[in-house]
Structure 1
Amino acid sequence: MDPSTGAVVIPHRLPILALPYQQILHPGLVLSISLPQTACLGLLRTALQVRKELDAQEARASDKEPTTKQMQANAQRPVLILCVPKQSADVGEIPADSLDGLHTWGCVARVLRLVNLPANEECRLQISGLMRAEIGRPVPVAEPVAANVTVVELRAFPQDLTAAPPKEETPGVRAMRESAKRLVELMGRAAIPTHAAMSNSVVARVPLLPPPLLKRVSLLLRESDQMSSGMLADLLVGALGGACAWDERLHHLALVDIEPRVAYTTEMLDRGVVRMQTLRDMLLSIPYALQDQQRLVLSRAQLETIVAELARINPGVVSSLRIFQGEPPRQGSDERAVVRRMPSKERGPQVTRRIVGHDDTPSSSPSMLDDDDDDDGADEVAALAARLEQVPLTPEARKTCQQELRRLKRMPPQGMERGMLINYLETMADLPWERVTADLDAATLASLVPTSAAGDVHAEPLIPRARKVLEADHYGLDKIKKRILEYLAVLDLKQVQAREAAEARAGSEAPDVGGGERITVQYKGPILLLVGPPGTGKTSIARSLAAALQRPFVRLSLGGVRDEAEIRGHRRTYVGALPGSIVGALRRAKASDCVMLLDEVDKLSSGNALHGDPTAALLEVLDPEQNHTFKDHYINVPVDLSRVLFIATANTLDTIPEPLLDRTDVVAVPGYTHDEKVAIARRHILPKQIEAQGLQPAQVQISDEVLLAIATGYTREAGVRTLERRISDVVRAKAVEYAEHRNLGGVTSTKAYDPVVRVSDLEHILGHDTYEPEVADAEGVPGVATGLAYQGSGNGGILHIESAFMPPGNAQLKLTGSLGDVIRESAELAFSWVKAHAFALGITVDRASEFPKNDVHLHIPSGATPKDGPSAGVAMTCALVSLYLRVPLDPRLAITGEITLRGHVTPVGGIKEKVLGAHRAGIRKVVLPTRNRKEYEQDLPKTVRDDLQVVFVGTIHEALAAVFGMSLEAQINTLYGGSEGRRRLQELDWHSRL
């Protein structure tokens, strides 16, 4: 754009956009056209390259460095393309570097807006006509086609439709205006009868074009003295071109001089008047005095004859006779326009034509329904159509709704399929489609967004708000909170980038690819899968995440789902068909960017050949690259799930299929420690139960000692659900006591009410302890070692390993204690290692001596509890060495770790739970594998780590040294003094170095 004159500088070449057949762009008009994404991006890329070359040519011509003002002007230069109509309906796709089938004249257009439509992989391009241009020869440019352009008529830009009127009106312009008025009047009173019971008088009053468009054209004619005659001729042909022949419209585009163009426009409009008058007379000649069914059959037959005859004479008229269809303008679009849908005969891009006016009257939205109504149920159908008008449907969904509405209008009220069709359309109207959280009113949003203990933090930034909500709603879970904050930080940065990009586009004339004023980010991040024991807060974490984001929250329970149709929905051909659970949850959320919790995904049934596999249906839902076109069988239209923030939960990963697990980011939610349970009970559970039982905080006082006694003696779980039930029992007992002692009916108890709950009161309220606390032995016994065990549900504890000699036999090992295969193998491995190193350990006198013949019985108490796993290998080895050397172990020392035949100690799982269980049992020293150091330092609280002495070992010899210390050396020196003792100790040290 020239900064001095404001005129658009047209380059010598422009890329071509071949318009569909019967679509034409005139100067002064605005056109909205849908194109495939690849074609649209190629077109804009070429246009931007042309603009860049023009800037370079101007810079070379001036031989000066561009100033800041010039650089700003170049940045605001519009993106231009050349829109060329096709010659006939037989012309298909136009290949690159070819102009076959295109008209020799086109219209230079400015790109106003570019909207991405990911649902159908299309882009909507909005362009404005500037001036005519003649096509020259093709030039070798990258696709799409670019051609030399001869600029015939240079006009100021932007188009000034309110320019000063001409000094006097010529007879040609006056005749053109009168012809246009007559044509508008006829098109406002002629239409195809769309109802069998319509009378002739009704037909005469039904307009062919929508009333807002006719009103706009009439207003344009009344105030046409404010624009040039050439512009008026282009606007009239663009608005009323449906009544004119296609070849006439092409010829009109090639007229450059004003006077011939005005004269030819008058001739076109006069011929259009004749066509419309003939059409109206034919329609009024249809007899409507027959019976309803006869009138319907006759009307359809005559309608087919009329349309066929018109199609033979003039296809353009038939295109204009089609029932008006369209969609309301997008928010932020130019409202000074009337929108009219012009369907194309060929399978090509859909085009919406706009006529730019100079008043401020907003354009009317086109109707979902045709102009006729049913006699029965018309109000219901009209209300449903009006409701669908207000929904931001996708193009494909709007087309489907229009088709189903037309079917519904033709159905009798007692039709069997009518109710199913109404339910389908109501479901389509209830889905959010393009509606996001920002579009919801405050009352609706408040009913859908979960509340938080943090209170109203809506005004704070996202990350501080999320941190405050997570800290207020959950105690501990630091790793989970950190991962969620990382996820939200990335999402927040994506929103900031999108907002800055939108502001940058708003300050220039470049195409707007943001799709309007709303900023919606489709962050294709990982799907979080929270895995942990029951009652650890997985569902509440998802609720807190929704509260921090201020988005609607919906929970979808997948436990026991065994049919694919429960995920994807049932096809409408079945009786009682309903949409799937995913679409149903989206319907409840009322926003397309909600937080959706997929609860218990590990309990999905594997399905069968009859019902399908529901886990396979979830693959598309949880894949960020595919879920923007999720297709429910009931809806049968792609639904965009890319804005939904999915959170999945599970108790175990064993039952989740590998492809489904690969689409998620697994976040482990560990069980709570006893200290954490006490803190959670103090902050959340106790106030909740006091309020639930009708008491005041001062009326029930429970100390941390009592809460710890409840957690250790009456619960054994990773979560806090059982703890909440037991606390509820205690509070109810105090409620009964308070009710008995309060003043009722003037009778007051003589005994004062004591609100304090003591440890001694628990046995009276809850009964005897359900679980006895594990306590370390007071004295060490040879052959007895203390191991560590993971007891399930996030709990851990100590494990006593007992060994004893049997009468002389064959040096065999006997195992008891409900042991599994893996732990039996660990015991046999420990026994073999002790035999192999008997001389170095001092068990045999020399290498040639025979191993003691005594059989060994190894037992692990609590025989009713199954035990398995390799982590007791080191503890069993120490117990056997202690037995053979008759050296007792420290009872406050616990050991865990897997061993190999070579004597290496390998890592084990459950370090946090095992060490916490040992700490509760009074253990003060723990031997752990060296490769478990990271878990110990990261997962264990600092208070526990400060209270324990931990020794990390990599071999069995290091473990023996840590367990026995000087006792082993003293025992060897006692049994084998002097040089023999020193030799055995050196051999033992040598083995430890291997």
Structure 2
Amino acid sequence: MTDTDGAYSRIPVLELPYPLVLHPGLVLSVPLKQQYTLSLLKAAMHERNSSSQGAPQSDSDAAVTPVANRPLMLACVPRGVNSSEGEMPEWGCVGRVIRLVNQPGSDTRLVLSGVGRARIEALVEPQPTRALPAHINIVRIKTYIDNASAPIADNAAASEMRTVARQLLDILTGEEYQANGARSAVAALPLLPPSFSRRFKSVLRAKDVAHGALADVAMGALGGACAWEDRVMHLSLTEPNARVTVTTRVLERGIQRARAMREVAAAVPSSMQGPNAEALIRAQIQSLLAQVAAIHPTMRVMINEQRGDSSPLVRRTISGPPAPPPNEQEAENDEDADEVSELAERIEKADLSEDARRISQRELKRLRRLPPQAMERSVIIHYLETLCEMPWGKTTADFPPNELSIPESLAADIPNEELVARAQRILDADHYGLEKLKRRLVEYLAVLQLRRSQVEAEQPKSDGGESSARSPAPVRYRAPILLLVGPPGTGKTSIARSLAAALRRPFVRVSLGGVRDEAEIRGHRRTYVGAMPGMIADGLRRAKTSDCVMLLDEVDKLSSGSGVHGDPSAAMLEVLDPEQNGAFKDHYIQVPIDLSRVLFVATANSLDTISAPLLDRTEVVDVAGYTYDEKVAIARRHLLPKQVREQGLKQEELSMADDVLLFVATNYTREAGVRTMERRIADIVRAKAVEYAARDGKYVSRVTSADVERILGPPMYESEVPDAQGVPGVSTGLAYQGSGIGGILHIETALLPPGNAELRHTGSLGEVISESAELAFAWVKSHAFALGITHTREEPFPQNDVHLHLPMGAVPKDGPSAGVALTCALVSLYLGVPLDPHVAITGEVTLRGHVSPVGGIKEKIVGAHRAGITKVVLPARNKKDYDADVPESVRKELKAVFVSTVLEALGAAFGVELEERISTLHGSLEGHRRLQELELPISRL
């Protein structure tokens, strides 16, 4: 025996978790947390470097082993289950670090090789140059390493130890029971890997192994069948003779324990046949798992679930990490128990539906049975928390106003105001124009108010004359789903927010643009990783109430089809159907959700991409673009004050007149909404903010049109204006340019040299407007004699080709509304009678001479009025649109003539000049007769 005291006298301590024990000559894998392992290795490295500088070392070490290449050493001391905090065992084993194995998560495995016994002398302070973590201890040890060349005095004791070790090995591997004919398959179950037993048998057969080292190997390899206290006591035996004797006695007790376990397993005879034999054998294995853990705590037996006679009963044995220290395990268990208790309390307090409460109780029982490390635990917790956050039957009346996110309005709050009056006042304060949409919303709210009054009147009264119910019953009104269709920036989203403010309900916006997966609407099934509720259920969860206002934004951008991800537009059918959404099923929630109280408002820019079944479930409300006058009013009331405030100025430090705002709208924007106009106003306000910040006494708060051109540059768009004088062959039409913008359109015609009397057209004309031009040309040809173009009925129509052109050729033009204007231009060309340039004409013409109605009346009339038109000729069937949509201020300054036939349109456009021209060409009597002939075919239809 040789005592070495110095090379590793100062060393960090690794407390081995129960029941691990490291013996000299063996390798042990210890599971540890990553942070603790790194701190331990840093401490060992620091002590190694310090010992190389101040501690004595052998000459051979100093000569051949650099400091950086010397192994890291740790004092591995076993820790019992009942060991108190700070208690340090007297004996342990010096372990050399072989490698560090990283595992998933924050776990590691530290592989150590036993070098020699270590006696803990004292707990020492760390080096003053190093801040040691609190959980790392440094001890001074005395190391005991066997002298391999020292002979052993008692060879008989060593032989007895080999015999006992071989017997215990045969019991653990099952060879003894296989040789004697085991009565049960479990009786012959091997508890050690075959490769390990073969290597240990070769060690027992070797004659050149020191008997003291052999005793350490036998105790370390077969110690799983022995008591933990005996294995720890074995570390204190420094004399080889005593160690061999004690090892023999300890292994003999291990044989008794192992045979007792095998006898329990042999209770079922092998001759037992029938379907119950396998079940009994597997039940035996389940009952023996605890005994297997006692025999070898670092092994875990796994049962093979496959069927078949050739399948082994035990699939494999793997090393399992020991249990964490008791104090850490108790803390984790307490924390998990608190979390489950808090969740159970939330479920108890939550106003869940009957189905939701039943499922939540079932999932809560599963959660309590799961271990803290189970992956499914977090999934169940998230699911239960989602159930608790859903508004099961809760309405806005159940919450204080400060707990809900209710939109604010520019209108002042008036207590005890009726719903309809409050809604009308809020809508007018927040939005300018949109009268049709406001009227429809007020109609809906009026019906809702009347339904509420009916429900309150039907509630039973108590003896005191008051309602017996504590709170008014919720009103279930199957309201239509409003679909607001209009260009971007026209206030569809903001008016839905104002509706929520009028109702004093939470507002939730669900963006459906680009949604391609049905699961985004209905939710993901919980079997998928990262499953979540769908957009509808999540919107209800965020709103906290079941009667919120939910905006389904960009419904027309919702993907449709039958791909691998389903059809999202089909999933919306149940949501928007009042007959079905009372029990909406989300795949994640798995409990019916009542959506009947939710007020759905959908928005879209176009109806072309919306499926017919989805469109059938909605009530379409057209949201027209703003006229220039409305844009000026919106800029005056909302946009300009907002930008002045956001750019850091005060309201009195900047002013813009209405004519300047109109100049910005007409020359720098071409849109239906006001977003671009807001950006242009923001550019102007920022430029004025720079001037104000750098002012030298010359700052002018008033913005003029010249300032606008200086800041924004030259006008980007120019509007058409009427000609100063009329020219034969030229008429003024009305055009709707889209995006809520209308204006005038010049129609120019010219006679070409004689040809084939064909019509040519230029100006980027579409197919429909080209057909209208051909139709107008054909009508003029067919009535050439009545119009005075030919002198006799037999005279052929003039063979000159006609060139038709519409200016602004880069702008595509299409639509049927220019038919009457084209007809007037051709009649003016052939008769040489100029039209009044301040008369604008619109309407679709038929081959029989009728004038059909057209669209965009409001935008056309407002644009014509702004361009300086004083008289408009409109189809008679558009009179209702003119009276309902055109602002009264515009109607007062315009003269509108409504016509049903082309002759009426010619009379309104030319006045008496047409009859005078025909009379001049053919005489008064003939001219009058021809005009009557022109009217007769029309009147007979």
Superposition TM-score tier, normalisation by shorter sequence:
0.5 to 0.7
Q: Distance in 2 between matches of 1:435 and 1:868?
A: 53
Aligned to 1:566: 520
Aligned to 1:273: none
Q: What are the equivalent positions in structure 2 for 1:11-160 lying under 5 Å apart?
A: none
* CA displacement 1:643-672 (0-9 Å, x = unmatched): 111111111112111111111111111111
Q: Which moved more, 1:804-813 or 1:433-442?
A: 433-442
1:788 to 705, 727, 734: 734
* CA displacement 1:141-164 (0-9 Å, x = unmatched): xxxxxxxxxxxxxxxxxxxxxxxx
2:337 to 349, 362, 378: 378
Question: What is the Cα deviation at residue 861 of structure 1?
Answer: 1.2
**1:859 to 2:805 alignment:** yes
**1:591 to 2:545 alignment:** yes
**1:437 to 2:383 alignment:** no
Question: What is the Cα deviation at residue 508 of structure 1?
Answer: 10
Q: Distance in 2 between matches of 1:508 and 1:407?
A: 51
**1:544 to 2:503 alignment:** no
Question: What is the Cα deviation at residue 401 of structure 1?
Answer: 0.5
Secondary structure of 1:838's counterpart equals coil
Does the Cα contact within 8 Å between 1:533 and 1:651 map onto a contact in 2? yes
* CA displacement 1:672-706 (0-9 Å, x = unmatched): 11111111111111111111011111100111111
Q: Distance in 2 between matches of 1:523 and 1:833?
A: 55
Q: What are the equivalent positions in structure 2 for 1:831-842 lying under 5 Å apart?
A: 831-842=777-788
Question: What is the Cα deviation at residue 376 of structure 1?
Answer: 6.6
Q: Aligned pair in 2 of structure 1 residues 986, 691: CA closer, same or farther (>3 Å)?
A: same
Question: What is the Cα deviation at residue 936 of structure 1?
Answer: 0.4
Does the Cα contact within 8 Å between 1:958 and 1:992 map onto a contact in 2? no
Aligned to 1:809: 755
Q: Distance in 1 between matches of 2:482 and 2:807?
A: 41
2:743 to 761, 778, 797: 797
Q: Distance in 1 between matches of 2:333 and 2:788?
A: 104
The one-letter amino acid paired with 1:813 is L
2:657 to 703, 711, 731: 703
Q: Aligned pair in 2 of structure 1 residues 978, 639: CA closer, same or farther (>3 Å)?
A: closer
Does the Cα contact within 8 Å between 1:563 and 1:607 map onto a contact in 2? no
**1:885 to 2:885 alignment:** no
**1:412 to 2:371 alignment:** yes
Aligned to 1:635: 589
Q: Distance in 1 between matches of 2:387 and 2:826?
A: 73
Does the Cα contact within 8 Å between 2:479 and 2:599 map onto a contact in 1? no
Question: What is the Cα deviation at residue 464 of structure 1?
Answer: 1.5
Does the Cα contact within 8 Å between 2:919 and 2:925 map onto a contact in 1? no
The one-letter amino acid paired with 1:456 is D
Aligned to 1:967: 913
Question: What is the Cα deviation at residue 456 of structure 1?
Answer: 2.4
The one-letter amino acid paired with 1:866 is P
Question: What is the Cα deviation at residue 388 of structure 1?
Answer: 1.3
Question: What is the Cα deviation at residue 740 of structure 1?
Answer: 0.1
Q: Distance in 1 between matches of 2:766 and 2:732?
A: 19
Aligned to 2:155: none
Q: Distance in 1 between matches of 2:523 and 2:822?
A: 56
Q: Distance in 2 between matches of 1:293 and 1:909?
A: 86
Does the Cα contact within 8 Å between 1:374 and 1:410 map onto a contact in 2? no
Q: Distance in 1 between matches of 2:840 and 2:622?
A: 26
The one-letter amino acid paired with 1:572 is R
Q: Aligned pair in 2 of structure 1 residues 505, 613: CA closer, same or farther (>3 Å)?
A: farther
Does the Cα contact within 8 Å between 2:409 and 2:498 map onto a contact in 1? yes
**1:424 to 2:383 alignment:** yes
Q: What are the equivalent positions in structure 2 for 1:646-685 lying under 5 Å apart?
A: 646-685=600-639
Question: What is the Cα deviation at residue 978 of structure 1?
Answer: 4.6
Secondary structure of 1:839's counterpart equals coil
**1:497 to 2:451 alignment:** no
Question: What is the Cα deviation at residue 518 of structure 1?
Answer: 4.6
Q: Distance in 2 between matches of 1:441 and 1:569?
A: 30
Aligned Cα root-mean-square deviation (Å) = 2.1
Secondary structure of 1:661's counterpart equals helix
Q: Aligned pair in 2 of structure 1 residues 506, 821: CA closer, same or farther (>3 Å)?
A: farther
The one-letter amino acid paired with 1:784 is V
Q: Distance in 2 between matches of 1:528 and 1:293?
A: 67
Q: Which fold has the larger relative contact order, with Cα–Cα distance below 8 Å and residues 6 or more apart in sequence?
A: 1
Question: What is the Cα deviation at residue 443 of structure 1?
Answer: 2.2
Question: What is the Cα deviation at residue 633 of structure 1?
Answer: 0.6
Q: What are the equivalent positions in structure 2 for 1:972-991 lying under 5 Å apart?
A: 972-991=918-937
Secondary structure of 2:825's counterpart equals helix
Q: Aligned pair in 2 of structure 1 residues 966, 385: CA closer, same or farther (>3 Å)?
A: same
Extract unaligned runs of 5+ from structure 1: 1-289, 295-372, 742-748
Q: Distance in 2 between matches of 1:505 and 1:380?
A: 45
**1:645 to 2:599 alignment:** yes
2:532 to 552, 571, 578: 578
**1:688 to 2:638 alignment:** no
The one-letter amino acid paired with 2:572 is L
Does the Cα contact within 8 Å between 1:376 and 1:412 map onto a contact in 2? no
Does the Cα contact within 8 Å between 1:790 and 1:796 map onto a contact in 2? yes
Does the Cα contact within 8 Å between 1:621 and 1:641 map onto a contact in 2? yes
Q: Aligned pair in 2 of structure 1 residues 415, 755: CA closer, same or farther (>3 Å)?
A: same
1:721 to 658, 670, 675: 675
Q: What are the equivalent positions in structure 2 for 1:215-230 lying under 5 Å apart?
A: none
Aligned to 2:890: 944
Aligned to 1:912: 858
Question: What is the Cα deviation at residue 493 of structure 1?
Answer: 1.3
Q: Distance in 1 between matches of 2:698 and 2:927?
A: 74
* CA displacement 1:397-433 (0-9 Å, x = unmatched): 1101011111111111111111111111111111111
Does the Cα contact within 8 Å between 1:450 and 1:543 map onto a contact in 2? yes
Does the Cα contact within 8 Å between 1:804 and 1:857 map onto a contact in 2? yes
Q: Aligned pair in 2 of structure 1 residues 506, 805: CA closer, same or farther (>3 Å)?
A: farther
Aligned to 2:423: 466
Does the Cα contact within 8 Å between 1:552 and 1:589 map onto a contact in 2? yes
**1:452 to 2:409 alignment:** yes
**1:769 to 2:715 alignment:** yes
Q: Aligned pair in 2 of structure 1 residues 647, 291: CA closer, same or farther (>3 Å)?
A: farther
Aligned to 1:235: none
Aligned to 2:580: 626
* CA displacement 1:370-416 (0-9 Å, x = unmatched): xxx97671111110111111111110111010111111111111111
Aligned length in residues: 615
Aligned to 2:107: none
Work out which of the two has the higher radius of gyration on C-alpha atoms and give 1 or 2. 2
Q: Distance in 2 between matches of 1:608 and 1:791?
A: 37
Aligned to 1:953: 899
Q: Distance in 1 between matches of 2:904 and 2:290?
A: 100
Q: Distance in 2 between matches of 1:781 and 1:991?
A: 30
Q: Distance in 2 between matches of 1:862 and 1:541?
A: 36
**1:533 to 2:487 alignment:** yes
Aligned to 2:53: none
Aligned to 1:478: 435
Question: What is the Cα deviation at residue 988 of structure 1?
Answer: 2.4
Q: Distance in 2 between matches of 1:453 and 1:569?
A: 37
The one-letter amino acid paired with 1:386 is E
Does the Cα contact within 8 Å between 1:717 and 1:794 map onto a contact in 2? yes
* CA displacement 1:324-345 (0-9 Å, x = unmatched): xxxxxxxxxxxxxxxxxxxxxx
**1:848 to 2:794 alignment:** yes
Does the Cα contact within 8 Å between 2:775 and 2:846 map onto a contact in 1? yes
Does the Cα contact within 8 Å between 2:915 and 2:928 map onto a contact in 1? no
Q: Distance in 2 between matches of 1:575 and 1:982?
A: 87
Secondary structure of 1:792's counterpart equals coil
Question: What is the Cα deviation at residue 989 of structure 1?
Answer: 3.3
Aligned to 2:355: 396
Q: Distance in 2 between matches of 1:569 and 1:774?
A: 53
